Amino acid sequence: MNGMNGVNGVKKGLCVLAVIFGLALVLPVSAAQYSPGVSVGQYVNLSYTTTLTRESIPVWYKMEVVAVSGKEVTVRICSRARDGTVTERPYAFNVETGTQNGTPIRQHMVIAANLSQGNVIPPVEFGLTVNRTETRTYLGTSRTVNIVSWEESAGTIHVKWVIVYDRESGMVLETEIESSPPPVSASHGLLETNIFPSTPIPEPVAALATMTFMAIVASTSTRRRN
């Protein structure tokens, strides 16, 4: 009997150790605090490139924080299409529940600040986590970023997503999307931000307009001299 009690005691001890060890592994990841890391007035300007050729496709986005309340961040997203059409609308992102305007989504423009590899990206039911936390350089500045990637299917279409977020603020910095069939790719790239010190990249359309203007001025000056 004493021998049996000894065995049972060992088993209980091992179970307790297993639980403690398990908690030690889980707690650093699951104990994340889901709070916004942005403030009103912060923004990112993003380019958008895609293999699609429609004139209604955006080529540029500006995402500016216009309100922060509790766990919710309201972002005004302005976009300009190839044909010059400009659209602007607000989106409310809850970084704790993972909703956009109250609807659960995967493609967040802003997530909670200071998450790390292994942390869950809400909503929990989608099963997304931070795949990697690493350092990248944007506009001449080194930043720690969180990378979230997943694959999904809708009917016969299969889509692969990669979204890179600034770790400190939670704002999106770049994306990559691939889908098939037919094969389509798209990506966002950072042009300018006031979230961290940086050297802006000239916005493509504005740069082209400046070049065109300078060419006209140069041509006019040449004609006058002649």
pLDDT at 204: 54
pLDDT at 21: 33
What CA–CA distance (Å, rounded) separates 15 from 209? 69
Q: What is the mean pLDDT of residues 35-51?
A: 97
pLDDT at 219: 39
The pLDDT tens digits of the residues spanning 169-226 come to 999 999 999 999 999 999 999 999 999 998 898 765 444 433 333 333 333 334 444 4
The pLDDT tens digits of the residues spanning 95-109 come to 999 999 999 999 999
pLDDT at 223: 43
- The CA-CA-CA angle for residues 102, 159, 183, to 5°, reads 135
CA atoms within 13 Å, Cβ hemisphere of 80 = 10
The pLDDT tens digits of the residues spanning 131-145 come to 999 999 999 999 999
Q: What is the mean pLDDT of residues 160-165?
A: 98
Q: Is the dihedral of CA 97, 150, 189, 130 positive or negative?
A: positive
Give the H or E element holding residue 223.
Answer: helix 204-225
Q: Which residues contact 30 (CB under 8 A, 6 or more apart)?
A: 120
- Contact at 8 Å (CB) between 170 and 163? no
**Exposed, middle or buried by CB within 10 Å (0-12, 13-18, 19+), for 37?**
buried
The pLDDT tens digits of the residues spanning 115-126 come to 999 999 999 999
- Kindly report which listed range (25-34, 63-72, 164-173) carries the lowest average pLDDT score: 25-34
- Contact at 8 Å (CB) between 58 and 81? yes
Domains recognised in the chain with CATH numbers: 38-201 (2.40.360)
pTM: 0.78
What CA–CA distance (Å, rounded) separates 121 from 148? 8
Confidence of residue 12 (pLDDT cuts 50, 70, 90): very low
CA 109 to chain centre: 5
Confidence of residue 155 (pLDDT cuts 50, 70, 90): very high
pLDDT at 10 over 70: no
pLDDT at 53 over 80: yes
Mean pLDDT, the chain, rounded, equals 83
- Residue bearing tokens 């423009």: 109
**Exposed, middle or buried by CB within 10 Å (0-12, 13-18, 19+), for 193?**
buried
